[in-house]
Amino acid sequence: MAPVLCCSVPVTRVPFPAVLLLVLLQQARSLPSAVAARTNLTAGATMAPPDYITSPSGGFAFGFRAFTSDPTKFLLATWFRFGGDDSSQPQPDPESVVWFAKQSPSGATPYATAQSVLSITADGQLTLTDGSNQVLWTPSLERGSVLALRDSGNLQFLSDSGSQVLWESFWYPTDTLLPGQSLVYDPARSEGKVFAKRADAEFTTGRFSMGIQSDGNVVLYVDLLKGNDPHNAYWQAYTNSPDGNTTVTFDDRGRLNYTLHNGTVSSLIKPAASFAAGEYFQFARMDPDGIVRTYIRPKDGGTGGNTSWTVSGAFPDYGCIKWTSGLQGMCGPGSYCLSAPTPSSRDRLNCVCPSGYNYTDEQHRDSGCTPAFEPQSCDGENSSDEFTLVELLNTTWEASIYYKRFSSVTEEQCREYCLRDCFCAAALMIGGSDCAEVAVLTNGWRANGVTTKALIKVRTRNSQVIVSSASSRTRNAFAYMLIAISLAFVLIIAIGGLVAQHCVTRNRERQRLLNPSVRPFSWKELHEATDGFEKLLGKGSFGEVYKGTIRSPQPHLIAVKKLISSNEYSEQEFTNEVQSIGQIHHRNLVRMIGYCKQGNHRMLVFEFMSGGSLRSFLFNPETRPPWHWRAEAALSIARGLEYLHDGCVAPIIRCDIKPDNILLDGHGTPKITDFGISKLLGSQQVHTTVTHVRGTRGYIAPEWLHSSSRVDTKADVHSFGVVLLEMISCRKCHEPVAPDPPQRGEEEDETVTLFGWAAQLVSARRAELMLHGDADVDTVEDRERVERFARVALWCIDPNPLLRPTMHQVVQVLETSRTRVEALPDPADCYMESSPLIPQLKIE
């Protein structure tokens, strides 16, 4: 006991907590070498952060990896382990992580803490739990007893006998394929996909994926988490066949191949230089920028001690000009894609903002860019003199949404056209003589071979609103902070602490803009502006609309929409969605100018449309609008929908397109209203609201009525088709149509639906009868345009969403007379078969 007593005498005066800390640090240093000897986890054993197991050769490790951004959180992952005992580098770099646990192939990533435990429970379940014993992740429901990491990097959960594999990580790849690993279509496991991470160091599901469809086609998708949809594909190998059964494999020579059902092997990626198997660490990865790349790293350190990963191959080439049929590209709206000056996509794609624009999300630059200034107003509040056009050479947005195009013009004329047009976001000089006005910048790219010159509209006056760099933002923020502090100090001295605090708080709340083009209103302001919500303009799917007047500084009429209550959106969700809606500007969309988020009040403020609704104009027999106006109005509505689907950061589904929701301004220009409000209420609320509002059943797509069906932008296409038929015929969709003229002896109730009537007329090549003899339809071209519009309308209302066109296709067909009507699909058989035959028509 004496030696113990001597050691316990506080001669060195070291506090007990310090002694305890030294002991813990010593244990931590010895932990990696102790854990490194473990090559499996058996029943009854546990593993907690920062523990890990290794493969027999020590080339891979599986266990807990701390996040660089937050060391208190851990990722359950498999990674390359270089140099044997890596106790000096216990934290693997993100690039070396080849697999990580997820709730599902496209689902959330469980984050462990220091209290989390991975174990094989008494009933044989592999389970990750948190400190309160709540299950964070469990991969298999079958009973097992051993978790082993193989030299291939494959993590396997084995049965009690050790002879049966119950689960393995190779069945559920995340973003990476290792040598010998294959990807197959398997709905029960990985769904045949690998998903890119949102960013290199973010272990969450990103925008892009590589998948094998049920028909065997190898496809690259954007923003598609479930199923197969060709509209979300920006590249495909065209390997589809009735037999399917295509397999993608990464071999030990660095080749990414696909094998067809008949044994034919082709390469997606071949390494630039051949090398012997076993000389390199290697993997194939779906990268966050949407390009699939293969990487290698010398096992012996390489020439000059090179220990970094090198890209050995990539596909697809020309990555910057890849986009879906719905015009979703590699970079978001408002930005342009910049790549290396070669066709190869080995270098990362960069998404860049033009001058005067800021990134929507600085951390994820592929989300797009928005103007750092208040866009040009169409209400006369600012003139074209306040704007200029900034040149971008060798840059184009030629896949963007055009709404005006001029041939054989000079650049000076092109500039003048865009500056005078409040809806023009940019102009493109194409080939030196063609000028295209662009409403929104989508799918831009810059390259030496591009001859188009882009002219970007930016504000010149009030230029302090424009923020062009991080340093200027910092300087402005510092200057504003000094001004705010000085003003607050004066207020405190002059008025007193309590009053000053109240005024500053109120001022901050009022001035806290979500974005430069949307302002917050208090409930009191809107109550006064609407005279106590006295003038009710109407009731819609999402709330009541009242007329009001604001002064900013001149009086302006406004429409205030009081949203129905919903428990599905949080404060942050409402703020985010209002910000998103407020950034949307298009000549055929009603502009939102403000909002109210005070207490339980949720209101949106829109520009007032003095022309009323399309319904009141279209179905008034005394003021029937001429056909030429109806045709141009239909095209304008289609362009507005196209913008919502393809021109925003994420597609916006309007959900309930009908003539009531299309308003006319003082010049008769149609504009869609209430877009984006569906996202404020939540999906379930919208489904309930849209499908139970009286009078909308004729417009909503069939998939809305089936809770199991996927509802996407094709639902809006269906509704637009119904509206287009109404605009052609000036008839309401739910009213039966009697044959005109009636036949002798015909029963009075012998009527057909609008859909059946239109289908029969189109099939008989007599679509002009839908117009009831409009005086302005007197040429062959006019009659062909009527038939083209009618065929597009029937194409849009096809019961199968996959057979409907996109709004981009609709706009292309409606705005050009070059499309042959014979090339458009025939009306769906169901509309012909479900309606009595019109006697006077001879169906060809």
Reported as a single tens digit per residue, the pLDDT across 635-661 is: 999 999 998 888 776 778 877 788 988
Residue 151 appears among annotated catalytic residues = no
Give residue 723's pLDDT. Answer: 95
Distance between CA atoms of 569 and 683, rounded to whole angstroms? 10
Over residues 551-580, mean pLDDT? 70
198-240 per-position pLDDT tens digit: 999 999 999 999 999 989 999 999 877 777 777 789 999 999 8
User: Token pair of 336, please?
Assistant: 């342009």
Give residue 631's pLDDT. Answer: 93
316-328 per-position pLDDT tens digit: 998 998 988 767 7
The separation between CA 185 and the C-alpha centre of its own chain, rounded to angstroms, equals 25
- pTM exceeds cut of 0.75: no
CATH classification code of 612-737+751-843: 1.10.510.10
Distance between CA atoms of 183 and 192, rounded to whole angstroms? 6
- Select the more confidently predicted residue: 22 or 412: 412
777-822 per-position pLDDT tens digit: 778 888 889 999 999 999 999 988 889 999 989 998 998 766 666 6
Mean pLDDT of the chain: 79
Instruction: Indicate whether 419 pLDDT > 50.
Output: yes
- Contact between 388 and 382 (Cβ < 8 Å): no
Instruction: Indicate whether 423 pLDDT > 70.
Output: yes
- Name the band, by pLDDT with cuts 50, 70 and 90, for residue 470: very low
Is 562 annotated in a binding site? The answer is yes
Collapsing DSSP to helix, strand or coil, 95 comes out as: helix
Instruction: Say which CATH class 519-608 falls into.
Output: alpha beta
- Select the more confidently predicted residue: 520 or 401: 520
Over residues 12-31, mean pLDDT? 42
CATH classification code of 175-223+238-315: 2.90.10.10
659-685 per-position pLDDT tens digit: 988 999 988 899 998 775 555 444 444
Query: Angle formed by the axes of helices 780-796 and 627-646, to 10°?
Result: 40
What burial class does residue 308 get, using C-beta atoms within 10 Å of its C-beta: 0-12 exposed, 13-18 middle, 19+ buried?
Answer: exposed
Domain boundaries, the chain: 37-172, 175-223+238-315, 321-459, 519-608, 612-737+751-843
Give residue 224's pLDDT. Answer: 75
Identified catalytic residue from 656, 674, 716, 774: 656
- Select the more confidently predicted residue: 273 or 392: 392
- Name the band, by pLDDT with cuts 50, 70 and 90, for residue 285: very high
Over residues 759-771, mean pLDDT? 87
Q: Do domains 37-172 and 175-223+238-315 have the same CATH topology?
A: yes
CATH classification code of 37-172: 2.90.10.10
Give residue 129's pLDDT. Answer: 95
Residue for token digits 């350190």? 301
Give residue 767's pLDDT. Answer: 87
- Select the more confidently predicted residue: 337 or 510: 337
User: Residues of 591-622 as b/e, b for ≥16 C-beta within 10 angstroms?
Assistant: bbbbbbbbeeebbbbbbbbebebbbebbeeee
Give residue 513's pLDDT. Answer: 42
Helix runs in 421-520, H state only: 470-495, 497-511
Distance between CA atoms of 526 and 603, rounded to whole angstroms? 9
Give residue 328's pLDDT. Answer: 79
704-750 per-position pLDDT tens digit: 766 555 678 888 999 999 999 999 999 888 777 765 555 444 444 45
Give residue 746's pLDDT. Answer: 45
Give residue 481's pLDDT. Answer: 58
